[in-house]
Structure 1
Amino acid sequence: MKALFMTFQYILPCDGISKKIVAQNKALKCNGLDVELACFDRDESGRLIYKIDDRTIETYGKGIAAKIKKRCLFGKLAKYISDNDIRFVYVRYIHFANPFFVDLFRRLRKNGTVIFLELPTYPYDSEYKNLSLRSFVSVYTERLCRRWLAKYVDRIVTFSSHDQIWNHPTVRISNGVDMDEIPVRSAPPKNPAALNLLGVAGLMFWHGFDRLIEGLREYYRTLQPVKVVFNIVGGKPDSEIVRELKDKVRRYGLQEFVIFHGEMSGSALDDLFDRNDVAVGCLGCHRKNIVHVKALKNIEYAARGIPFIYSESNEDFDFKEYVLKIPANESPVDIAFLVAFSKNMNMFPEEIRTSVNRLTWNEQMSKVVKVLNQII
Structure 2
Amino acid sequence: MKFLYVSNVSKAKQYAGILKKVAGQTEGVAQLGWEAHYTCVDGSSVLLCSADGSKLQRKDFPSGLRWHEQQQSIARCISEFAADGRYDAVYIKGFLANPYALQTAASAKNVNPACRVIFEIATYPYWGEYKRFLHVDLQKKDRRSMAGHLLEIWQHATTVPHMKQYVDALAVFGAPISRLWGIPAITIDNGVAVGKIAPKQVSSSDGTIRLLGVAGTSVAHGYSRVLEGLAQYKKEKAPQDPEVCFEIVGANETIEAMKARAESLSLGSSSAFLGYKNAKELSVLYNQCDAAVSSLGVYQIGLTWLSPLKSREYCAAGIPFLYAYEDTLPKDVAFAMKIPNDSSPVNIAAVVRFVERCRQNPDISRQERQYAADHFDWKIIMEKVLRFAGAADKS
Q: TM-score, normalised by structure 2?
A: 0.85
Pairs aligned (count): 365
Q: Could you say what secondary structure the match of 1:184 adopts?
A: coil
Distance 1:58 1:282, change over 3 A: same
Superposition map of 1:194-233 within 5 A: 194-222=208-236, 224=238, 225-233=241-249
Q: Which amino acid counterpart does residue 204 of structure 1 have in structure 2? A: S
From the two aligned structures, give the one with the greater helix fraction: 2
Taking the TM superposition and a 5 Å limit, the aligned residue runs for 1:220-369 are 220-222=234-236, 224=238, 225-236=241-252, 239=253, 241-345=254-358, 346-347=360-361, 348=363, 349-358=365-374, 359-369=376-386
Distance in 1, matches of 2:84 and 2:22, equals: 25
Shift of 1:265: 1.5
Instruction: Note the C-alpha offset of 1:181.
Output: 0.9
The CA distance in 1 between the partners of 2:245 and 2:290, in whole Å, is 10
Answer yes or no: is the 8 Å Cα contact 1:294–1:316 preserved in 2.
no
Alignment of 1:171 onto 2:186: yes
Conservation of the 8 A alpha-carbon contact between 2:6 and 2:91? yes
| Inter-partner Cα distance in structure 2 for 1:10 and 1:157 | 22
Q: Which amino acid aligns with 1:285?
A: V
Give, in whole Å, the separation in 1 of the partners of 2:225 and 2:340: 11
Question: Structure 2 vs 1, CA of residues 221 and 148 (structure 1 numbering), >3 Å: closer, same or farther?
Answer: same
The runs of 5 or more residues in structure 1 that have no matched partner are 43-47
SS in 2 for 1:186: coil
2:108 maps to 1:71: no
Q: Say which SS state the counterpart of residue 391 (structure 2) adopts.
A: helix
Alignment correspondent of 1:130:
136
Query: What is the percentage of aligned positions where both structures have the same residue?
Result: 25
Is contact 1:179-1:303 (8 Å) kept? yes
Structure 1 pair 110–231 and aligned structure 2 pair: CA distance change class (3 A): same
Relative to the length of structure 1, the TM-score reads 0.89
C-alpha deviations, 1:140-166, integer Å up to 9, x for none?
A: 222233314633311110133111222
Q: Kindly state the Cα deviation for residue 223 of structure 1 after the two structures are TM-superposed.
A: 5.0
The DSSP-based 3-state class of the residue aligned with 1:130 is helix
Q: Secondary structure at the match of 1:261?
A: strand
Residue 187 of structure 1 deviates from its aligned partner by 2.5
For 2:170, the equivalent position in structure 1 comes to 156
Is 1:118 aligned to residue 120 of structure 2?
Answer: yes
Q: What is the identity, as a one-letter code, of the residue corresponding to 2:381? A: Q
* CA root-mean-square deviation: 2.2
Native 8 Å contact 1:71 1:101 kept in 2: no
The answer as to whether partners of 1:57 and 1:77 remain within 8 angstroms in 2 is no
How far 1:267 moved relative to its partner? 2.7
Deviation (angstroms), 1:83: 2.7
Deviation of the 1:12 alpha carbon: 5.2
**Alpha-carbon shift at residue 220 of structure 1 (Å):** 1.6
Segments of structure 2 that go 5 or more residues without pairing to the other structure are 50-54
Distance 1:251 1:71, change over 3 A: same
Q: Which residue type is aligned with residue 76 of structure 2?
A: G
1:11: how far off? Answer: 3.6
In structure 2, the partner of 1:181 is: 196
- The C-alpha deviation readout for 1:255-309, integer Å capped at 9, x for no partner, is 3111111111133221111110011011011221211222222221111111111
**Contact 1:102–1:145 (8 Å) recurs in 2:** no
Deviates more, 1:208-217 or 1:99-108: 99-108
Alignment of 1:46-57 (within 5 A): 48-53=44-49, 54-57=55-58
Say which SS state the counterpart of residue 264 (structure 2) adopts: helix
Cα distance in 2 between the residues matched to 1:84 and 1:223: 63
